[in-house]
Structure 1
């Protein structure tokens, strides 16, 4: 019997295969093809969960939920999606099961959202089941996000991390606005909300098929430090239980520059507010009809996709300093969107979309530059939690001041952005300092 041909080093081989087992060799994809495929996974998955988020309020209301119940369910879902990452990030780094967590998280979204279509037929139990499915879907987001970002950071090393994350974010944004528009179209045609959730089973299944193919064909070389078969040289020194909890909760062993940047991102996120607050204001002012709000949101998402692509190459050239434009954009938003002129309002929405696109595409690339490879998932979990606190604070601030105190709101947001710019500049300076020899 002729000896087995050697397996190319870039081709994944199952760890369970025995020494004499024949392994079917699949050629690994190039780094760019891998990044693009991961972007397509996010595009399909975003159609599913952004479609659900766009219709969650009206759908729960159709099942008999009060406004308070809708607020509790959706608020609890978003809290779970952010705060739970404090646990799932360190879990991914310690277990080295980044792919498994990514697959499980996407599967929860692909299953839970289409199942919402059956809840109107469950009688009095329909509301409770729907609420549970929504929270479970958001839990899936928390399970996969830190591990997925760590995998993508490894994949994008050869492409230029800024460009890689930018392309991924642009594809992600396409799903973010096409999913809600798909559900709105189905609701307009049928007069019902539940058929749209059933249709979302198609992009959900497509996301899982793409992810399975990506897992088989992703080159190991692009995933150094995250692949499940790779052991960290030397391992980590044992730590006490309290040290593990403290590290998982706040990322205590992560670099100072990372924490400065996290705080800066929280301040810019607070200033960006939420689209819900802005749309509430211009609908109340009679500037935009409620039925046209999804179109305005789609405009912002399209601008965000273009801004993300434009930012990628600049990030690879200038690093985190490219993010200094975000506080400037954020400070402009309230000066436009809270006026009584439609042209200025739409301009403000465009600026808001650009700021969100630049921030969302570059922050993950910058986090990957700031922290060690083996701590990326932990860092993404901590970062998301800090950013979530900023989003919550910004929503409360805007909600309290948008009626009758717009000038004060603009001043406060401007002050927050000045502080964000200072913190961001300091984090860039820390990163540029030479590392002393041990």
Structure 2
């Protein structure tokens, strides 16, 4: 019966959500082929330290949310989402050759920032588009499905990276060139495969980045923003998972398999937990996800051999599946329909800036104290987030709290 229920819900999800999920899948293959190899490339080929990698990753991840504020607001202003998303995916795809030719850390930083600017341009309009085309009672499942398909790409990308590294003797630059192909495919699929829903005629376009519109956001929305920000402190860049695997003694070509393992769990868990979020307490799911992340941090803090690293990474992937689609659904539920792009933009801005801080802290702790300190700091921030959820639960708004 439960299987039939899952099939029934999947059939109700609009076709545009499936297409957007496949677009995300292709772009994640492209991006993760590079990202799963980039920390090793920076450290082994260009001589970067863990602190430098933390700054690069934090800067890159903060760039996207800053851009998302403006792209989300601009999509609300125009009343259209699709072509902003196309532009963002195109920028991400066209950044890939820069990684392949990069002779210095500075060029890698440039490529990483361009890639994340593209992510910022596409992210908020895409998420708002998912909310626009999906009935409210299916949004948790829709965001979970899109996240699952996205994450299928996120484990195929590192897997393809491993294949290239094994077949061509650890040739980082060839892997980066090949990553361009699925990126261009994502752009083409979005351009031809999505028809945006009609908006009501006569609606007046107004600049949504105004104080009056900020005041329209509910207390429940700002609570979600606050929780997302504290949560971001606990979730530093996944580059540190790759660095942890490097220290476990496996060949460089096989290190990206940790990202494959993480993203398989992420992909398998995102949709079921997204569907669960349409019925169950969001607070309780978040608390459970934080508990899983604490377990992951503790395992990774003590992991010196490959099997323990894999165990910690699998737990990390499970926490991602439990929480990432859920947070997106919570933003969609608590934001006014006409300001969803703006709402996603501000949410991602705050979370991204905090992620910059958390990645810088993680890299500094790694270099000065050791890997164990980095993961224990993440666990500590998880505990802080759990305390906020317990002491100050969400305001009573449909789909949030509980």
TM over 0.5: yes
The yes-or-no answer on 1:210 pairing with 2:189 is: yes
Of 381, 389, 393 in structure 2, the residue corresponding to residue 426 of structure 1 is 393
Q: SS of the residue aligned with 1:427? A: coil
Equivalent-residue separation in structure 1 for 2:65 and 2:261 (angstroms): 26
The yes-or-no answer on 1:391 pairing with 2:369 is: no
Equivalent-residue separation in structure 2 for 1:171 and 1:98 (angstroms): 20
Which residue is 1:362 aligned to? 326
Which residue is 1:98 aligned to? 81
The yes-or-no answer on 1:323 pairing with 2:302 is: no
Q: Which has the higher contact order (CA 8 A, sep 6+)?
A: 2
Deviation at 1:36, TM superposition (A): 1.2
Deviation at 1:162, TM superposition (A): 1.2
Which residue is 1:382 aligned to? 346
After superposing the two structures, state which structure 1 stretch, 78-87 or 153-162, moved more: 153-162
The yes-or-no answer on 1:299 pairing with 2:261 is: yes
After superposing the two structures, state which structure 1 stretch, 313-322 or 65-74, moved more: 65-74
Aligned-residue CA RMSD (Å) = 3.5
Which residue is 1:416 aligned to? 384
Equivalent-residue separation in structure 2 for 1:277 and 1:59 (angstroms): 14
Report the CA distance shift for 1:348/1:129 in structure 2 as closer, same or farther (over 3 A). Answer: closer
Which residue is 2:34 aligned to? 52
CA contact (8 A) 1:31 1:159 kept: no
Of 132, 140, 143 in structure 2, the residue corresponding to residue 162 of structure 1 is 140
Deviation at 1:414, TM superposition (A): 4.8
Which residue is 1:223 aligned to? none
The yes-or-no answer on 1:268 pairing with 2:236 is: no
Matches of residues 331-370 of structure 1 in structure 2 within 5 Å? Answer: 331-340=294-303, 342=305, 344-370=308-334
1:217-261 deviation digits (Å, cap 9, x = unpaired): x5x2xxxxxx5x54575766x89xxxx46578xx45411111111
Equivalent-residue separation in structure 2 for 1:410 and 1:65 (angstroms): 26
Equivalent-residue separation in structure 2 for 1:247 and 1:188 (angstroms): 56
CA contact (8 A) 1:281 1:402 kept: no
Equivalent-residue separation in structure 1 for 2:37 and 2:376 (angstroms): 32
Report the CA distance shift for 1:356/1:371 in structure 2 as closer, same or farther (over 3 A). Answer: same
Equivalent-residue separation in structure 2 for 1:190 and 1:383 (angstroms): 42
Which residue is 1:24 aligned to? none
CA contact (8 A) 1:113 1:200 kept: yes
Deviation at 1:171, TM superposition (A): 0.8
Equivalent-residue separation in structure 2 for 1:233 and 1:261 (angstroms): 29
Of 92, 97, 100 in structure 2, the residue corresponding to residue 109 of structure 1 is 92
Which residue is 1:84 aligned to? 67
Report the CA distance shift for 1:420/1:359 in structure 2 as closer, same or farther (over 3 A). Answer: farther
Equivalent-residue separation in structure 2 for 1:163 and 1:385 (angstroms): 24
Q: SS of the residue aligned with 1:182? A: helix
CA contact (8 A) 1:258 1:427 kept: no
Equivalent-residue separation in structure 2 for 1:138 and 1:94 (angstroms): 22
Deviation at 1:372, TM superposition (A): 0.7
Equivalent-residue separation in structure 1 for 2:45 and 2:239 (angstroms): 22
Report the CA distance shift for 1:347/1:158 in structure 2 as closer, same or farther (over 3 A). Answer: same
Report the CA distance shift for 1:63/1:33 in structure 2 as closer, same or farther (over 3 A). Answer: same
TM (norm. structure 2) is 0.81
Equivalent-residue separation in structure 2 for 1:323 and 1:170 (angstroms): 18
Equivalent-residue separation in structure 1 for 2:375 and 2:115 (angstroms): 38
Of 107, 123, 132 in structure 2, the residue corresponding to residue 145 of structure 1 is 123
After superposing the two structures, state which structure 1 stretch, 368-377 or 65-74, moved more: 65-74
Equivalent-residue separation in structure 2 for 1:141 and 1:416 (angstroms): 29
Of 15, 25, 28 in structure 2, the residue corresponding to residue 43 of structure 1 is 25
The yes-or-no answer on 1:189 pairing with 2:172 is: no
Equivalent-residue separation in structure 2 for 1:54 and 1:363 (angstroms): 24
TM (norm. structure 1) is 0.75
Structure of greater Rg:
1
